[in-house]
Structures are given as C-alpha cells and as structure tokens.
Structure 1
Amino acid sequence: MHDLGTQFFVDLESQVWDALASGDADADRELLSDDFVGVYPTGFANRGDHAGEVADGPSVAKYAITDARLIDVSADAVMLCYRADYQRPAHSAVDVMFISSLWVRRQGRWWNTFSQDTPAAS
C-alpha cells in the first residue's frame, strides 16, 4: 500500500481541476508530464491538447471529486480512480464522469501521466 494515501492524490488531481476552473494553462501543464496521454470520448490528447482546453478561458465552472480509490501500481506510480461531478461555464447541467488518472513519481516529483475519462450513463 502506498504511504501517501488517497487524499494526497485527490489533492494533486484537484490542482488539475483548479487549473481548468481558473483557465490557467500554465498551471495545468505544470502538473502533466511531457509524455501525458489522455483518453477521452473524443479521442486521444497530449499535454498541449489538455492545456489547450483553457485557451479561451475556464473550461469548468465547478467540480466535486467523490468516491476516490487508489490502486498501487508500484512504489512510484498510483492509479487514482474517482467520480467527478462538474459544470461547464454558462451551463446549468451537472455532468458526471468516472476518471482514472495515473500519477508517476519521477525525479522526486509526482506527474499526471495518463487520464481516462468515461462519461456516466444517463
């Protein structure tokens, strides 16, 4: 079992969401590895694609992370799986996704290297 605990990684993941909510592409890039891969309903994305989501401003108005689970992959890698309830700016509907994010420690620092978002069935 990883010694940092689930909340540590929820806090890291929240920083990614906070960057999307504030429209801060630089903060987003700071959390994702150079070799980041995102798997989304629209296809694959790299680090630049992910940060580009906020090119015109925030892509998320508010969010909540719940039902977080941590899977130990190795001493330097964990998979954080959770439910995300979120609203887009200027939308009243709340969307729900189930997300898996791989966090890897490289040179003493944790990086988000992979994320897969699965929309919840309606």
Structure 2
Amino acid sequence: MGDLLDEVMAMERGIWAALAAGDARSLRAALAEDFEGVYPDGFAGREVLIGALATGPTVADYDLSQGRVRPIGADQALLAYHAGFLRSGQTTWKAMRVSSLWQRDGAGWINLFSQDTPEGPPVP
C-alpha cells in the first residue's frame, strides 16, 4: 500500500505545485474533464479551477501530511490527507482535510474528485 500512497500523493503534490506556480497547463493535465470539486464555498469543475490561475498562483506555500490511501477497485484510489497552506497575497496559514479520488490513466493518474473540509476542533 505504501507504493500506491507514494504514487498518488506525488500526483496530488503536482496539483498543489501547479497552484503555487500558476501553471494552468499542468493543472489541466492532472484533472479529469469532468472533475468535480467540493469546497466550503461551493462546487467547482476543472475549468473554474484553471480559470482561477488567470491572475497568477493561488497558493503561496503548502505542506501536505498524514496521507493515507484506500484502493477503490483495480484502477482507482481514494487519497485523504492534511493540507496546511498559505493563499497568495495572504499572511495567515489555513488548514484542511482533503479527500481526493484518482483514477489510473495509462502510465499515470488523473484526478476525478476532491473535497476540502476546513480543519475544526478534534472529534471526540
């Protein structure tokens, strides 16, 4: 399972790197055409996320940790992790829990779905 976690986590880091670099081409390549994102402020598809990079990077810095993966059939994996991040132009770090569904695509992976949940108090 460690190899799968490393493989999918590397793809997820690629998405964050694209957001930090303002790299719309890499982001487009990583997200499925029908990608669906669920965020605290609503839903967003691939073109919405790519469009947000039109004015430059949306993330100044990030740290991903606590990754765990669950195989979903032969060619899909559900990744869950903790993300600490600093939005471009801001000075306060934010934290969230992310779940991300990936599907094997040839020799690589493509992101089908992601849900970001703001970090709150610990669950009892």
Return the TM-score normalized by structure 1: 0.92
The corresponding residue for 2:15 is: 16
Distance 2:34 2:62 in 1: 26
Return the TM-score normalized by structure 2: 0.91
Distance 1:47 1:91 in 2: 24
Residues 96 and 118, structure 2, Cα contact 8 Å, conserved in 1: yes
Deviation, 1:5, is: 2.2
What is the 5 A alignment of 1:48-87? 48-87=47-86
Q: Structure 1: 5+ residue runs without aligned partners?
A: none
1:2-60 deviation per Cα after TM superposition (whole angstroms, max 9, x unaligned): 57321111110000000000001111000001110001111111110111121110000
Matched residue SS, 2:14 = helix
Deviation beyond 6 Å, 4+ runs, structure 1: none
Distance 2:53 2:17 in 1: 11
Matched residue SS, 1:84 = strand
The corresponding residue for 1:6 is: 5
> Would the alpha carbon gap of residues 108 and 7 (structure 1) be closer, same or farther in structure 2, given more than 3 Å must change?
closer
Matched residue SS, 2:88 = coil
Distance 1:114 1:86 in 2: 20
The corresponding residue for 1:92 is: 91
Distance 1:104 1:10 in 2: 13
The structure with the largest helix share of the pair is 2
Bigger shift: residues 15-24 or 2-11:
2-11
Distance 2:84 2:2 in 1: 27
Report the aligned-residue RMSD. 1.4
> Would the alpha carbon gap of residues 72 and 117 (structure 1) be closer, same or farther in structure 2, given more than 3 Å must change?
same
Percent sequence identity over aligned pairs: 40
